[in-house]
């Protein structure tokens, strides 16, 4: 008969006594004494976590309503109602605090931070889209079917140099391209009609040449006076290669960074859950 090894030999951290590891309340109380393990479990620091509801675990882990229901001894249907109500309250509370409408001073501050952190002057944000996988709605046909061979909603976002989101547009069909999503979105229409209140052109550092403030995007977006995209990747000169490298570094995948922190499932009212996730992302980044 095999002998039972101790916890260290089995690779189990002795955080919680044996027999109590399945109890969420006991695990939570023990994790309070280990900030690093608490960060791994809750995906945020203790001060930030204590200001938020317990059901933030759904957004942090992406687990199912049924699993959360077992932890809190409620039905999975009731869990869905609680998650929706909590996410709606989070969004209504955090939206004016963490996602305010940018003004001219905000754009200038973002441009200064982008130059300081990413060495790209006159940049007021990066634009990107991601596909949030969902279960295909009834009678939807191929509206939500995307190039990844699954069904999804498109999330478009504009982010600053510190990975904070400035603009969100959620709910476009998964089959639409990034360029069409940008063109049909409220932000895209405001951009095309010059309603974003961007600052006037500003001289580049160490020069007298004035250039407009710009957003950064990938090749799927149109090239505009205030929207920079990479060169076509063929027969590039060295200056062009350096420009692409700097542009790509400045517009790193901000949406990927958020999805690494909050895992959203396709169950429940997806739009409000995504909105709450991105508002919480800004809240965690700013606190």
Q: Is the dihedral of CA 146, 88, 169, 280 positive or negative?
A: negative
Burial 192-219 (b: 16+ CB within 10 A, else e): eeeebebbeeeeeeeeeeeebbbbbbbe
pLDDT tens by residue, 183-222? 888 898 999 998 999 999 999 888 888 999 999 988 888 8
* pLDDT of amino acid 253: 58
pLDDT tens by residue, 55-112? 666 666 666 777 777 766 677 777 778 778 888 888 899 999 888 989 999 999 999 9
234-253 mean pLDDT: 80
* Separation CA 132–CA 142 (nearest Å): 16
* Separation CA 37–CA 26 (nearest Å): 14
Which residue did the predictor score with more confidence, 119 or 235?
119
| Planar angle of CA 48, 50, 51, nearest 5 degrees | 70
End-to-end CA distance of the chain: 53
* Separation CA 56–CA 87 (nearest Å): 9
pLDDT tens by residue, 36-69? 888 887 777 776 665 454 566 666 666 677 777 7
115-121 mean pLDDT: 89
* pLDDT of amino acid 111: 92
Crossing angle of helices 35-42 and 24-31, rounded to 10°: 130
* pLDDT of amino acid 11: 46
Q: Give the predicted TM-score (pTM) of the model.
A: 0.72
pLDDT tens by residue, 260-282? 554 454 445 778 888 888 888 88
114-128 mean pLDDT: 89
Contact call for residues 264 and 153 (beta carbons, < 8 A): no
């Amino acid at each position: 008969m095999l002998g039972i090894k101790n916890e260290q030999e089995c690779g189990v951290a002795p955080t919680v006594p044996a027999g109590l590891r399945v109890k969420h309340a006991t695990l939570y109380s023990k994790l309070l004494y280990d900030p690093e393990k608490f960060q791994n479990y809750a995906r945020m620091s203790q001060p930030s976590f204590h200001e938020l509801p317990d059901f933030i675990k759904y957004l942090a882990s992406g687990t199912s309503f049924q699993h959360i229901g077992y932890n809190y001894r409620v039905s999975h249907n009731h869990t869905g109602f609680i998650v929706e109500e909590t996410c709606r309250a989070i969004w209504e509370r955090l939206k004016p605090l963490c996602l305010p409408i940018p003004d001219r001073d905000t754009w200038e501050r973002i441009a200064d931070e982008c130059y300081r952190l990413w060495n790209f002057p006159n940049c007021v944000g990066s634009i990107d889209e991601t596909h949030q996988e969902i279960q295909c709605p009834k009678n939807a046909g191929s509206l939500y079917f995307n190039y990844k061979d699954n069904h999804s909603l498109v999330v478009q976002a504009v982010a600053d140099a510190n990975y904070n989101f400035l603009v969100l547009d959620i709910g476009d069909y998964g089959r639409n391209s990034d360029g069409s999503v940008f063109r049909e979105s409220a932000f895209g229409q405001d951009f095309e009609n010059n309603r974003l209140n961007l600052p006037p052109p500003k001289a580049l550092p160490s020069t007298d040449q004035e250039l407009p403030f710009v957003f950064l995007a990938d090749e799927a977006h149109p090239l505009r006076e205030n929207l920079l995209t990479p060169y076509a990747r063929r027969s590039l000169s060295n200056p062009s290669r350096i420009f692409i490298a700097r542009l790509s570094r400045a517009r790193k995948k901000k949406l990927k960074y958020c999805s690494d922190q909050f895992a959203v499932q396709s169950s429940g009212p997806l739009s409000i859950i995504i909105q709450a996730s991105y508002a919480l992302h800004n809240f965690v980044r700013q606190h």
